[in-house]
Chain A
Amino acid sequence: MAISKCEVEHVAKLARLKFSAEEIEEFTVQLSKILDYVNKLNELDTENVEPTAHIVPIHNVFREDEVKPSMDREKILINASYTENGCFKVPKIIE
């Protein structure tokens, strides 16, 4: 296996996903297969190759520092399940 059950559980937590025990098993098998496949990349020597993060070589795209109207609060809140006093509401957080 390219990835262990334990790692799958850790990654799930990092990604904020919850799985049943069976799903973890299933993912371990599937992800291992996919990783075995992508490990094909290791056949290549890329020691002296620069990574390409942006395919189009442009830089310095900016906007000017100008204030534009914000959106009506009603429109901002309309898709939220829980709101109160013009805010989004979440479970009580103790900091």
Chain B
Amino acid sequence: MKYEAVIGLEVHAELLTESKIFCGCSTKFGSEPNTQVCPVCLGLPGTLPVLNKKVVEYAVRAGLALNCTIANFSKMDRKNYFYPDLPKAYQISQYDLPLCSNGYLEIEIDGQTKKIGIKRIHIEEDAGKLLHENTDGSLVDYNRAGVPLIEIVSEPDISTPEEAYQYLTKLKSILEYTEVSDCKMQEGSLRVDTNVSIRPVGSKELGTKIELKNLNSFKAVQKALEYEIKRQIKVLEESGTIIQETRRWNESKGITEPMRTKEEAHDYRYFPEPDLVPIVVTEEWKEEIRQSLPEMPHHKRERFISEYGLPEYDAKIITSSKKMADFFEKCVAEYYSPKTVSNWLMGEFSRLLNETGKEIDEVPVTPQMLVKLLKLIDNGVISGSIAKTVFEEMFGTGKEPEVIVEEKGLKQIANENELREIIKKVIDENPKSVEDYKNGKEKAMGFLVGQVMKATKGKANPQLTNQILKEELSK
């Protein structure tokens, strides 16, 4: 029998507000524990929440960018459960009237466009963080408690792990574009839960849903789903039954494992939050937010083609991340050749980002630094190949390119006399190649240039080397 998977994705994204959702505490990441806490976000007896207006605007922004219907009337609800990271023992969230619903985004699979439905987007508060370093107990830090979140729930339209990956990549790009979240998975500002079930192809009935946790990257989501689908098919093929459960992705073993289930089924006892009044998003407000939406990826791509003359391929890659696109635009504001910038971004820069698993704004290289590097090449101070070495150093240390060139003595040898001496020496040491060249073997020229580069550790000016070599060989 052939099976197909039905995949659902729940994405939590922390919003880029300055202050928390219900109080004035900062949302800054990485501060000392419990230093961004006040009576309100600690849930001290008698305190009350007041909703941050930006939270509503950001959620509506995300909703508009994801083609959602924005609710005219929406409200907050309490989701009740006990856990030490939840100061009030209820999370203020939205239950039956979310801010946004019925949206979609488009992904490309094998050159085909596929629409993935967005069921809903609602706003809620984040919980604190439990630290488990201690042996005799766990510690609670409430800095994160009350940081605003949106939860984006997909329709079960996703049928392969690859589609899930594409969906997440696209979603992240849109959230970054709309500037509602910085989507940093390693800082927890983007979190993904997924569920998957399988059913015989053609069947309308849904299979037993398995939830997957501990997914720390989009690749992990994809791999976990791949594993899980295979596992479920195997269970069914061996006439077993799939038990509804939550499984954890074990990255190092590359498998999913059953999680110790919480001792009881959850009963969240949702009810309308009496401390907060309903939210009404009027047409005017919605339009105002729509006007404030930044340029979306496909618009930017078209503009990059027409304005900068980038090939479509380049434009697509550069605009797939807003941060990359912004970096590009900052460079071309100070540099004449957009294509050169795009080559560097897609080539060396992307290679190093992939290797280190970092985002473009997490490395010390600034657009100004890249432009300086390109100008060093243009001015003949360094060669293109040396520039790659310099860039790697910039990427690692954040040093200015000219400083690296100076420190490491990477300046090109453009002094004719100095270079001629080296070339003469190379000719003397390689009589065989010289003879081959004179016998019409063009290849030998390349070898000799290589030897000059070797002797100068790549610092010889290529044009000058060619010129002098020809002169010397024709003597």
Where the two chains meet, the residues of A that have a C-beta atom closer than 8 Å to any C-beta of B are 13-14, 16, 53-54, 58-71, 73, 76-77, 82, 84-95
Contacts and interface: CB of A to CB of B under 8 A. Distances in A.
A72 to B, nearest CB: 9
A23 B142 CA distance: 36
26 contacts: A53-B272, A59-B277, A62-B51, A62-B53, A63-B52, A64-B52, A65-B18, A65-B53, A65-B55, A66-B18, A68-B19, A69-B24, A70-B25, A71-B38, A73-B32, A76-B34, A82-B137, A86-B32, A86-B34, A87-B34, A88-B139, A88-B140, A89-B139, A90-B84, A91-B137, A91-B138
A63 B26 contact: no
Contacts, number: 124
B26 A60 contact: no
A65 B139 contact: no
B109 interface: no
Contacts of B17: 65
Contacts of B141: 86-87
B137 A90 contact: yes
Interface residues of B, number: 49
Given A54-B272, A62-B56, 8 more contacts: A60-B279, A62-B50, A63-B52, A65-B53, A71-B38, A84-B134, A90-B84, A90-B138
A28 B390 CA distance: 78
Interchain residue pairs A-B with the least CB separation, the first 10: A68-B24, A87-B139, A62-B53, A65-B54, A53-B272, A88-B140, A59-B278, A93-B138, A63-B50, A90-B84
Interface of A is mostly: loop
B52 A73 contact: no
B336 interface: no
Contact of A68 (B23, B135, B267, B269): B23
A67 B280 contact: no
Contacts of B130: 90, 93, 95
A60 B134 CA distance: 44
B137 A71 contact: no
Interface string B255-280: 00000100010010100101011111
Contacts of B18: 65-67
B37 A70 contact: yes
B277 to A, nearest CB: 5
Given A67-B19, A93-B84, A93-B132, A87 B140 contact: yes
A13 B264 contact: yes
B279 A71 contact: no
B436 to A, nearest CB: 70
Interface string B6-26: 000000000001110001111
B397 interface: no
Contacts of A89: 134, 137-140
